[in-house]
């Protein structure tokens, strides 16, 4: 263990350590990987001479690698207001929480183990906590008080701060000559779309790879009561969830789910568009078919005119059992604490419980393994940041990624989803990105993939392994 730095701000002692670790890999990659793990702070600000915030990050770099060939991937979660702890300790990092492997959460306190599916096998990793999350905060101003963080709580301010961090990290760590990638989950998908364009246009950083994990892209859709795109893209996800619970007319297989995709894009969308012109028998047949696919009584489908929302579906599918499904992972169900209410009036369990599951082992890991000690509170999910977020800037939509792919011929993008995710359904991403990516050469460098599981499909052991294999192939395939 080599001491790297120490600095003090606002009663916070931030001690960064570099640790050399040997990690065993599964059978397909027997040799040990020796990597360095470093946790620390980096000052950021639009004026590099006067930084007004600091960003906490954890970097994993392979020992003795050829830096001209070794990629470095910058990773962040979403929210907005979420730290990177979720991808760090559940999916991508060298350590991961021990789970049952079926998408459920472990009992607290959770414990860590080596991650056989870590991306450290094919890329260096830098996990970033945006300002207001994790340990990242604004610095004291001239009056000694922390600078107002409001500019960071916005679409454009957030993207600029991450771009500034990436540029500075490349400089400090002598990695400008390495292949560069970014990966983001959920709202982090908006960040990936925006950064793919902004990094090149404003900061002269050309990316090689971009991975969007369960992206919730910024969309300008019409009123859901009239839009055809929203119910069209939601239908296959609802059918996949119902099939998982044995309540659909299809089976829980990718092939059967694809048949629902085909129907959603043809018969379903035309049925919705002409529902008002149909006779009662045609309407009843249409509602019955939808009810059979998504596991609901046709009367519920009829009541909502064929447009069953995420919350109504989540509250209704297992209502006879007194259960509600998690909209982040419809394969997971719990007792409904408010069965008298239509829809869901509480936070999904994925939001309220997973943060606590991860935080306990994370705190021990930072202090005991990486030697990062501070009395500042680590915030996995900052709901105040989310409530204050300024979404006015147009960045983060599918068109940003489409433009980036057209401009940067070295860039490839991979979009990955879980079938059971009601919060960010997979067909919506595919539909809008295909519509926004119009340059033929760009379309050839845009890829999609789906896994069994929800928003955090990597909580399933089989899906996480497949996820890692797919991303590795994506990284190692020539442009």
What whole-number percentage of the chain has pLDDT above 90?
81
Residue 57: per-residue pLDDT: 98
Going by pLDDT thresholds of 50, 70 and 90, the confidence category of residue 343 is low
Read off the tokens for 298.
């046709």
- Tens digit of each residue's pLDDT (9 = 90 or more) over 125-162: 999 999 999 999 999 988 888 899 999 999 999 999 99
Residue 222: per-residue pLDDT: 60
Q: Please check the confidence at residue 13 and state whether its pLDDT lies above 60.
A: no
Q: What are the residues whose beta carbons fall under 8 Å from the beta carbon of 309, sequence distance 6 or more?
A: 224, 343
For the chain, give the mean pLDDT: 90
- Tens digit of each residue's pLDDT (9 = 90 or more) over 444-458: 999 999 999 999 999
3-state secondary structure (DSSP) of residue 441: helix
Reported as half-sphere exposure (CB side, CA atoms, 13 A), residue 98 has a value of 9
CA distance linking residue 153 with residue 312, whole number of Å? 31
- Pick from 41, 96, 58, 83: nearest CA to 379: 83
Q: What are the residues whose beta carbons fall under 8 Å from the beta carbon of 289, sequence distance 6 or more?
A: none
Residue 20: per-residue pLDDT: 43
- Tens digit of each residue's pLDDT (9 = 90 or more) over 203-222: 999 999 999 999 999 987 76
Q: Please check the confidence at residue 7 and state whether its pLDDT lies above 80.
A: no
Residue 229: count of CB within 10 angstroms of its CB: 17
Which one has a higher pLDDT value, 275 or 216? 216
Beta strand 112-114 with 33-44: parallel, antiparallel or unpaired?
Answer: unpaired
Residue 478: per-residue pLDDT: 72
Question: What b/e sequence results for 244-279 when a residue is b if at least 16 CB atoms lie within 10 Å of its CB, and e otherwise?
Answer: bbebbebebeeebbeebbebbbeebbebbeebeeee
| 249, 454 Cβ separation under 8 angstroms | no
Q: Please check the confidence at residue 2 and state whether its pLDDT lies above 50.
A: no
Q: What are the residues whose beta carbons fall under 8 Å from the beta carbon of 23, sequence distance 6 or more?
A: 32, 33, 35, 94, 114, 118, 120
Q: Please check the confidence at residue 3 and state whether its pLDDT lies above 70.
A: no
Residue range 107-131: average pLDDT?
95
Reported as half-sphere exposure (CB side, CA atoms, 13 A), residue 48 has a value of 7
Going by pLDDT thresholds of 50, 70 and 90, the confidence category of residue 9 is very low
Residue 173: per-residue pLDDT: 97
Q: Please check the confidence at residue 24 and state whether its pLDDT lies above 70.
A: no
Going by pLDDT thresholds of 50, 70 and 90, the confidence category of residue 404 is very high
Fold that domain 2-218+353-476 belongs to in CATH = Rossmann fold (3.40.50)
Q: Please check the confidence at residue 372 and state whether its pLDDT lies above 80.
A: yes
**184, β-bridge pairs:** 76, 212
Q: Please check the confidence at residue 333 and state whether its pLDDT lies above 80.
A: yes
Residue 215: cis peptide before it, omega within 30 degrees of 0: no
| 165, 54 Cβ separation under 8 angstroms | no
pTM of the model: 0.91
Lowest mean pLDDT: which of 219-233, 374-388, 426-440? 219-233
Residue range 32-60: average pLDDT?
92
Beta strands per DSSP E along 28-179: 33-44, 53-62, 72-76, 95-97, 112-114, 124-129, 137-138
CA distance linking residue 330 with residue 317, whole number of Å? 10
Distances, alpha carbon 299 to alpha carbons 224, 233, 302, 306, in Å: 20, 22, 5, 10
What whole-number percentage of the chain has pLDDT above 70?
90
Q: Please check the confidence at residue 413 and state whether its pLDDT lies above 90.
A: yes
Residue 277: per-residue pLDDT: 87
Going by pLDDT thresholds of 50, 70 and 90, the confidence category of residue 113 is very high
Residue range 418-426: average pLDDT?
96
Q: Please check the confidence at residue 1 and state whether its pLDDT lies above 80.
A: no
| 355, 380 Cβ separation under 8 angstroms | yes
Residue 341: per-residue pLDDT: 64
Which one has a higher pLDDT value, 53 or 47? 53
Q: Please check the confidence at residue 26 and state whether its pLDDT lies above 80.
A: no
Domain residue spans of the chain: 2-218+353-476, 229-346
CA angle 438, 444, 445 (to 5 degrees): 100
């Amino acid at each position: 263990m080599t001491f790297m730095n120490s600095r003090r701000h606002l009663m916070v002692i931030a001690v960064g350590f570099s640790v050399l670790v040997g990690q065993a890999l599964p059978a397909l990659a027997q040799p040990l990987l020796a990597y360095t793990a470093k946790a620390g702070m980096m000052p950021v600000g639009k004026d590099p001479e006067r930084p007004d915030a600091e960003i906490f990050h954890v970097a994993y770099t392979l020992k003795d690698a050829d830096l001209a060939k070794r990629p470095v991937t910058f990773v962040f979660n979403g929210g907005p207001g979420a730290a990177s702890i979720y991808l760090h300790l559940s999916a991508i990092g060298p350590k991961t929480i021990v789970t049952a492997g079926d998408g459920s959460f472990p009992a607290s306190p959770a414990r860590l183990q080596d991650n056989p599916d870590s991306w450290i096998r094919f890329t260096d990793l830098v996990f970033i906590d945006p300002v207001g999350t994790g340990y990242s905060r604004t610095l004291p101003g001239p009056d000694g008080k922390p600078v107002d963080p409001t500019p960071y709580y916005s679409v454009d301010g957030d993207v600029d701060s991450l771009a500034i961090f990436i540029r500075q990290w490349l400089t400090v760590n002598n990695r400008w000559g390495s292949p560069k990638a970014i990966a983001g989950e959920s709202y982090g998908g908006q960040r990936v779309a925006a950064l793919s364009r902004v990094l090149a246009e404003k900061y002269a950083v050309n990316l090689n790879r971009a991975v969007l994990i369960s992206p919730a892209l910024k969309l300008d859709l019409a009123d859901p009561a009239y839009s055809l795109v929203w119910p069209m893209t939601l239908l296959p996800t609802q059918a996949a969830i119902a099939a998982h619970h044995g309540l659909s007319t299809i089976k829980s297989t990718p092939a059967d789910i694809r048949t629902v995709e085909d129907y959603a894009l043809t018969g379903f969308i035309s049925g919705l568009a002409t529902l008002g012109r149909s006779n009662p028998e045609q309407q009843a047949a249409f509602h019955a078919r939808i009810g059979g696919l998504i596991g609901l009584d046709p009367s519920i489908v009829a009541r909502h005119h064929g447009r069953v929302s995420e919350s109504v579906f989540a509250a209704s599918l297992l209502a006879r059992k007194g259960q509600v499904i998690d909209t982040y992972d419809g394969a997971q169900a719990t007792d409904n604490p408010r069965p008298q209410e239509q829809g869901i009036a509480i936070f999904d369990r994925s939001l309220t419980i997973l943060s606590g599951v991860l935080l306990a082992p994370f705190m021990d890991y930072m202090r005991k393994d990486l030697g990062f000690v501070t009395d500042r509170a680590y915030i996995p999910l900052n709901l105040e940041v989310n409530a204050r977020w300024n979404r006015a800037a147009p960045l983060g939509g599918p068109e940003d990624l489409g433009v980036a792919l057209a401009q940067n011929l070295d860039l490839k993008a991979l979009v990955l989803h879980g079938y059971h995710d009601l919060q960010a359904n997979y067909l919506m991403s595919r539909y809008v990105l295909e519509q926004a990516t119009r340059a033929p050469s760009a379309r050839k460098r845009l890829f999609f993939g789906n896994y069994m599981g929800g928003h955090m499909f990597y909580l399933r052991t089989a899906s996480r392994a497949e996820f890692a294999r797919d991303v590795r192939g994506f990284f190692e395939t020539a442009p």
